[in-house]
Amino acid sequence: MLVQLPFKPRLFEYESTDSTNERAFAAIADGSASHGDVHIAEHQTAGRGRLGRQWQADEGEGLLFSVVLFPPVNGPKPTELTVATCLALYDMACEFEVPGIRLKWPNDLLSGDSKLCGILLETRGLDEAKPHFVVGVGLNVLQREFPREVTEERSVTSLALQGVRASRKIVFDIIWKKLDNRLRQDAAELFADYTTALALDGEVVLRTSKSEVRGQLVAVESRAGVRIRMGDGQVVETPLEFVRSLSQSARGSC
């Protein structure tokens, strides 16, 4: 088990805030935070995703929240917590029977080729004796349309556009249960399920800052990293921290 969540989290709700991750880190800094606290907002003015990208959601339409995690010393790695969160969102979407649901490396939830949710895990001034993490989630729930600047960057969707009729509270409650379940699993099970949820069949391409590897995805593992079988049968292992992208190759099958 990675870590256990409280049955009912303490909720800190905001009509508008800069970023729920920032509110969570502020609580950690002043000593008022507890494991499993959730900071949730109707609207964010400075929400962000991976690589500093801005996360936008109109007030009252998205589900924007951050969870404070105080895992035990020598507990789960950041990648394991990220994978557990990704799978919890994936499980929620599967329960609602969202079509074409899959994960995109490393932390996006898609329906077909359209982005449904983004996840960002952060830590600051990590003290090995007092590990702490904040995992932020931005999920499109009720949106029926999106700003042009968002759709020009990439295809996006929401649970409502995929036929889901559920309030944000119901969606959050389901996510919380799924997250608790996933955080109770061991890393090997999590990464096996994560590999499946990526839905990468045929040839894939893995890119690092210095190289590119093409072949068939064997597995994504916590210790070995991404394992790819090349055309000559050789299996190449790339540590997770070096992987910049992992996607389906445009060239087709191996």
**pLDDT surpassing 90 at residue 250:** no
Residue 35 pLDDT = 97
Mean pLDDT, residues 84-107? 97
Mean pLDDT, residues 55-83? 87
Picking from 32-46, 95-109, 119-133, 152-166, which range would have the lowest pLDDT averaged per residue?
119-133
Domains and CATH numbers, the chain: 11-196 (3.30.930.10), 203-248 (2.30.30.100)
Mean pLDDT, residues 185-189? 95
For residue 151, what pLDDT band results from cuts at 50, 70 and 90?
Answer: confident
Mean pLDDT, residues 171-189? 97
Is the dihedral angle over the CA atoms 60, 5, 53, 153 positive or is it negative?
Answer: negative
Summarised one tens digit per residue, pLDDT across range 239-248 is 999 999 999 9
For residue 123, what pLDDT band results from cuts at 50, 70 and 90?
Answer: very high
* Cα distances (angstroms) measured from residue 196 to each of 114, 125, 148, 245: 19, 34, 33, 17
Q: What is the per-residue burial (b if ≥16 Cβ within 10 Å, else e) of 223-243?
A: eebbbbeeeeeeebebebeeb
Mean pLDDT, residues 205-212? 95
**pLDDT surpassing 90 at residue 212:** yes
Mean pLDDT, residues 27-32? 96
| C-alpha radius of gyration, the chain, whole number | 18
Residue 11 pLDDT = 97
Residue 236 pLDDT = 96
For residue 128, what pLDDT band results from cuts at 50, 70 and 90?
Answer: confident
**pLDDT surpassing 50 at residue 228:** yes
The token duo for 132 is: 């702490």
Q: What is the mean pLDDT of the chain?
A: 91
**pLDDT surpassing 80 at residue 53:** no
Q: Which of 226, 221, 238 is nearest to 186 (CA)?
A: 221
**Percentage of the chain exceeding pLDDT 90:** 81
Residue 13 pLDDT = 97
CA–CA distance, 219 with 197 (Å, rounded to integer): 11
